[in-house]
Amino acid sequence: MTPDTDYNLQLFQRAQKVIPGGVNSPVRAFKAVGGTPRFVSRAQGAYFWDANGKRHIDYIGSWGPMILGHGHHSVVEAVQKAILEGFSFGAPTEREVELAEEILSLVPSMDMVRLVSSGTEAGMSAIRLARGATGRSKILKFEGCYHGHADALLVKAGSGLATFGNPTSAGVPAEVVQHTLVLEYNNIEQLEEAFVLHGKELACLMIEPIAGNMNFVRASVPFMQRCRELCTQYGALFIFDEVMTGFRVALGSAQAVYAKAIPGFEPDITVMGKVIGGGMPLAAFGGKRAVMVQLAPLGPVYQAGTLSGNPVATACGLATLREIRKPGFYEALGAKTQKLMAGLKGAADLAGVPFSVDSEGGMFGFFLFDALPQNYATVMTTDNTRFNTLFHGMLDRGVYFAPALYEAGFMSAAHTDADIAETVAAATEVFKLL
Ligand SMILES: *Cc1c(COP(=O)(O)O)cnc(C)c1O
């Protein structure tokens, strides 16, 4: 490399000629923050190196899956071994059974689980299952929660509680979202009104328990409890989308966090992704036996996948789960995350910048506000210019946070105290620019 050549820019220009926007998932294009996306050439532990050979401390970790850090030796070993045995068979394998058993042993609300290849697919299938199992059509979701890009979920609130949603993407016919009701996150009053109006027609309520697609917003305990009670009362299935939070916020996932505050708390269906694949395309949905037996080939709800339960992906996921279930894993991960949050908060305070932080296990969020927001509308009042100054200031100093203010951050087991200290030192400089 010659010092004045920007290989990230060269690659981005080349990519834009052959891939829409130069990326295979929109947020990677840096549209929200401006500038040139970093093309990753390799990664190890807590770091990745971009096309210019520059090292970054990675707080995205593939948007959550890399909880052990990149290239963990036991995961690499498991994947190498699996690859030599074959890439894909389209027939069942013992490893799928092992992974299913492992997931169920860690998340007791599920009696059975089906493996698929992406969170989108898992969420979409969970909704079909809920509709098939209840014989009802309507579904309820919350503004700011992302459940993948299935048509029925690309929707924003209609004009009132009596009206259903409007599409948020071209190509989604209004008819397809006419059964989707969108409510404000953490608004108990609106939730109760919606159930009075539509509760008996609802197949399911789907929620991100800790919403990581509006940065980091927790469902309050009373709100969560009310969701559970109303679903039970009206016979709607309660779907926890734990694609991001699953095995990320605690060994038992977000449902275990809420069960501490609400005794006996359980969702009816859980959707998983990200960490369970350890960086390979793998996701899952599971729930109570009575619901899961509605799925084909046992029941009338169709669902299938050529690469579902892929032998390399399941090897990667299994090896990952076996590491994270070791004693003390989440205590250490959570302590590191808290240390980073306290460091960033301290740096912001020093510069007099309004700042609030929250985290659970290895997932975190920070806001340029004094108080933590409770819903999407508040998150979106963030000053974009200030956020972008923060993002690019950190990026220039080799720290990679999410290139959009509505995304969470992720700690891995590979991050060291020195990485955290380096991050906080960079933030101390950057906050002075705000
Ligand atoms: C990432 C994510 C999805 C979608 O998963 P993909 O694998 O990207 O399709 C769904 N729900 C939540 C909560 C997510 O964070």
Architecture of domain 7-71+329-431: Alpha-Beta Complex (3.90)
Q: 74-324 sits in which CATH class?
A: alpha beta
Residue 3 predicted with pLDDT over 70? no
d(CA 236, CA 131): 9
Residues 318-340 pLDDT 10s: 999 999 999 999 999 999 999 99
Q: Is the CB of 340 under 6 A from ligand 1?
A: no
Substitution candidate for ligand 1 out of 117, 243, 272 with most atoms within 8 A of CB: 243
Residue 352 predicted with pLDDT over 70? yes
> What crossing angle do the helices spanning 417-431 and 384-396 adopt, rounded to 10°?
130
Output the pLDDT for position 221.
Answer: 98
Mean pLDDT rounded to a whole number for the chain:
96
Output the pLDDT for position 157.
Answer: 85
Residues 125-143 pLDDT 10s: 999 999 999 999 999 999 9
Q: Could you list the active site residues?
A: 146, 241, 274
Q: Is the CB of 279 under 6 A from ligand 1?
A: no
Q: Is 298 exposed, middle or buried (0-12, 13-18, 19+ CB in 10 A)?
A: exposed
SS (H, E, C) 34-68: CCCCCCEEEEEECEEEECCCCEEEECCCCCCCCCC
* Distance (Å) from CA 50 to ligand 1 centroid: 25
Residues 19-57 pLDDT 10s: 999 999 999 999 999 999 999 999 999 999 999 999 999
Q: Is the CB of 65 under 6 A from ligand 1?
A: no
Q: Is the CB of 273 under 6 A from ligand 1?
A: yes
* Distance (Å) from CA 432 to ligand 1 centroid: 35
pLDDT above 90: percentage of residues in the chain: 97
Enumerate the domain spans of the chain: 7-71+329-431, 74-324
